[in-house]
Amino acid sequence: MEDGASAGDPSNPGELEPDAWCPPVGDEEGDGSGQAPDFEDLGAASGEAFGGAVNGDAALVAELLSIITKSEQAIDTVRIRVAGVTTGQPFPPPSPACDIPAIYNFGDSNSDTGGIAAAFYPPGPPSGETFFKRPVGRASDGRLIIDFIAEKLGLPYLSAYLDSIKANYTHGANFATGGATIMRVNESWFAHDVSPFSLDIQVEQFSQFKDRTTYLYNQAKDEFQRSNLPRPDDFTKAIYTIDIGQNDLAYVFRTMGVQAGRALIPNIVDQFDASIRQLYGKGARAFWIHNTGPIGCLPVIHAKIVNPQRGYLDEIGCVDGQNALANEFNEKLKAKVVQLRLDLQKAILTYVDMYSAKYKLMQDANNLGFKDRFTICCGYHDQDEDIYCGNKGKINGSEVFAGSCNDPTKISAEEAKVTSDVVIGTFFVNSIPAYVLFDSGANRSFVSIKFVHHPSFVLEQLPVPLEVEVADSKSFLVFDIYRNCKLTISNEDYVVDLIPMVLGEFDVVIGMDWLSSYKANILCNRKVIQLITPSGYELSIQGEKRGGVVLCSLVKAMKYMNHGGQSFLAYVIDAEKTVKSLEDVPIVRDFPDVFPDDLPGIPSDRDVEFRIDLIQGPSL
């Protein structure tokens, strides 16, 4: 935001003073002054975009609250539940000068508080587990940004328009549905998780909602009949929040690609413009408009990437082309908001730069307590399969449950190196190198569903389903097992039964069922496993320890190999090495007309037939 900008200039608004963006109180028409500026740093990770983990980390919640409330001076303290721990965080009371009686929200799963769940199938556990302690229709473990906005304004959480059970619309309604788009697309919820309630349909639902509730309110005979209805005067005083557009870009990427999708952006933005004007015609005056986030940074997008070409990802690992299109969409959206400020003289339109806020959170993921910015906390996604959070699905013939990341079997490799009762290392399982975790805290042994593609793994059905309990007393049933798998340690084979499930970094987790059968002990302080081999000898297995790369000389390496040490040959290439051009090759560069512009490289190996003719008789 440039210094010295005028607050009255809709194309270049000035610094926001506290409460300057509030809609006119007691003046339904307004005077068109006090246009609200861009919030260039407002936002936080939310529902659809980043797994809704705003409840999962205290630092992230604190950052969110400090951003949303930055214009307030008076600070009180309330108790906020964060991942099961009560922590005090600053949370200001609603400003007395900013008397907003209601919120009407439109969008997708970034702000859906139960619409798509009421229309189709509600999300089950672990959704809602960290704050509400039960599923409440949000694609999140806790609250969404729209919930924090409601708290900031001193309003209750919004009831979804499509959810009629115990709904309360006295302070607004939520028309957002997960998977919603701005434009109408020829897809369905069942095929591509696209909501049938596009933005124009949501606005039409609001129009009907306003007309019907106003009629019922005026016809009511007492306050009891009005108890769940909005006051007609509040529609003009309310704030209208819109967070949508991400699924339009996903549709473009899925159906036509980045380049062809550019031609569709102006049409998408025009349809957004038409919806704002329709809301304005129904009395809306204060608009809070989020731009779209960095879709190329979504972990579910990252999970589909295999061997990306150089330049495909940006410096933090996001898909550069997809983010570029998101930025292009945002620029056109911002220009449209500026035009709307000029055209709708009685409206206040605030453009919120969620893209910058979310991208910054991705950049600072490690500082905010996340080990890996692209790890999906809930759900299973790879190049070919998608099982969404809280659902069951089949992977390689095995039924798996896509639970949350609090599973103890998902301990990271770095944590395992410093955790006393576990040992990690690389061993052969069915003659395939596997990253193995020996965990005395696991009762059974498990194998990653990504690891069992080899035909040596034969799937059997358990005679009785087995209940597996993971973190927070969550449990699910498993029905299959791979019996008599072969774990090879120091050239001896051990039999182990493995249950398929979604694991983290490890291919195999060896639990107490196997450790006890071979009388194994874990020496915690030395990270060593001692066990009795099938041939009756005592064997010590040294696990990996935290530390850097250890180098040794060739002479010492040969000594280790002569004493039976295992060795591995690694062929390493420099993936960042630049390709030589014509100007880099002596002699060749002097004849540019003869040689092609791009050198093909070293010729491939091929058989060459040599022939020598011998003459009989003469001697040399």
Lowest mean pLDDT among 194-208, 213-227, 241-255, 414-428: 414-428
In 153-264, where does DSSP find H-type helix?
Answer: 189-192, 199-219, 223-226, 234-237, 246-255, 257-261
Sheet with 528-532: strands ordered across: 521-523, 528-532, 538-542
d(CA 400, CA 237): 49
Domains, the chain, ordered by start? 47-363 (3.40.50), 380-562 (2.40.70.10)
Between 153 and 584, whose confidence is greater?
Answer: 153
pLDDT given for residue 245 in this prediction: 95
pLDDT of residue 522: 73
* Stretch (H or E) spanning 173: strand 172-174
pLDDT of amino acid 208: 97
Least confident of 266-275, 305-314, 322-331: 305-314
Segment 151-169 shows an average pLDDT of 91
pLDDT 10s digits, 105-154? 999 999 999 999 999 988 777 788 778 888 899 988 889 999 999 988 88
In this prediction, residue 118 carries a pLDDT of 93
Q: What is the pLDDT of residue 33?
A: 37
Pair 502, 380: CB distance under 8 Å:
yes
Using one digit for the tens of pLDDT, what is the confidence trace for 523-550? Answer: 765 667 888 888 777 777 766 654 445 5
- When pLDDT is averaged across residues 570-591 and rounded to a whole number, the result is 66
- Lowest-confidence pick of 308-317, 388-397, 486-495: 388-397
Return mean pLDDT, the chain.
75
8 A C-beta contact, residue 400 and residue 92: no
Phi, psi of 51 (to 5 degrees): 70, 10
pLDDT the model gives residue 450: 81
Say yes or no to pLDDT of 415 above 60: no
Mean pLDDT of 574-585: 63
Q: What pLDDT is stored for residue 576 in this prediction? A: 61
For residues 550 and 252, the model is more confident at 252
Highest mean pLDDT among 70-79, 298-307, 373-382: 298-307
pTM greater than 0.95: no
The stretch 20-35 carries a mean pLDDT of 40
Average pLDDT over residues 16-30: 40
In three state form, how does the secondary structure of 46-78 look? CHHHHCCHHHCCHHHHHHHHHHHCCCCCCCCEE
Distances (CA, A) of 140 to 153, 219, 241, 317, 364: 22, 39, 19, 24, 21
Instruction: Tell me: pLDDT of 14 over 50.
Output: no
Residue 598: predicted pLDDT: 60
**CA dihedral in degrees (578, 583, 589, 594; nearest 10)?**
70
Q: Which has the higher per-residue pLDDT, 162 or 20?
A: 162
pLDDT at 519: 81
- pLDDT recorded at residue 38: 36
pLDDT band at 596 (very low <50, low <70, confident <90, very high): low
The predicted structure's pLDDT at residue 163: 92
- 172-174/103-107 β-pairing: parallel
Higher pLDDT, 202 or 402: 202
Per residue, the 3-state secondary structure of 417-459, as one string, reads: HHCCCEEEEEEEECCEEEEEEEECCCCCCEEECCCCCCCCCCE
pLDDT band of residue 425 (cuts 50, 70, 90) is confident
What is the spatial distance between Cα 349 and Cα 293, in angstroms, rounded to a whole number? 19
Top-confidence residue, 404 or 199: 199
Instruction: Grade residue 604 by pLDDT with cuts at 50, 70 and 90.
Output: low
Q: What percent of the chain has pLDDT over 90?
A: 32
pLDDT of residue 579: 58
pLDDT at 159 over 80: yes
**∠ Cα 188 194 199 (to 5°):** 115
DSSP assignment of 535-551: TS-EEEEEPP-S-----
pLDDT, residue 410, reads: 44
Question: Does residue 159 contact residue 174 with C-beta atoms inside 8 Å?
Answer: yes
pLDDT at 483: 92
∠ CA 160-163-167, rounded to 5°: 75
Structure tokens at 601: 């490289």
Look at residue 41 in the predicted model and tell me its pLDDT: 30
Mean pLDDT of the region 489-500: 88
Q: What was the pLDDT predicted at 176? A: 97
pLDDT value at residue 556 = 65
Burial grade of 309 (CB within 10 A; 0-12, 13-18, 19 or more): exposed
Query: Is 64 a residue whose pLDDT tops 60?
Result: no
